Amino acid sequence: MLLLSLSFTWKALAPYSGTLAVVGTVLYVLSFALGAGPVPALLLPEIFASRIRAKAVALSMGMHWVSNFFIGLYFLSVVNKFGISTVYLGFASVCALAVLYIAGNVVETKGRSLEEIERELSPPSKADANAFLVSDQ
């Protein structure tokens, strides 16, 4: 996304803007297909507690598709108002923020049972807190 934005704005890159736009698009599609594209459908069932999993995944994926619909619906209007470079720069910023959020907040699920993941994501109960306080004394 950043490469796409820069290919449209930097005058020094003007002779290469077409090539850079194609390379940027291919790199984006490749990275999206390997990461952010399938991950919501794979990760969501693993992070919700089993008692709410079906409804939570349905709601989350529904919101995912509603968001995609509105992005597609308003994309050309936003491009006409702000310019293609600014829109791609905004997308690149959102992608960078998503990487930071995921790196800091999403738990590793590889090789772990759903019950282990659920225990890690669940807030500690009062009994757990009391047991911790008693063991400290």
Instruction: Tell me the mean pLDDT in the region 2-25.
Output: 84
Residue with more model confidence, 60 or 112: 60
- pLDDT value at residue 128: 55
Domain count, the chain: 1
* Residue of 129, 111, 112 lying closest to 120 (CA atoms): 112
Q: What is the pTM of this model?
A: 0.68
**What is the domain-level CATH number for residue 99?**
1.20.1250.20
CB 89 within 8 A of CB 7: no
Per-residue model confidence as pLDDT tens digits over 41-95: 888 888 888 888 899 999 999 999 999 999 999 999 999 999 988 998 998 899 8
Please name the residue ranges forming H helices in the chain. 2-9, 17-34, 39-47, 53-82, 84-105, 114-121, 126-136
For 29, the domain range is 1-135
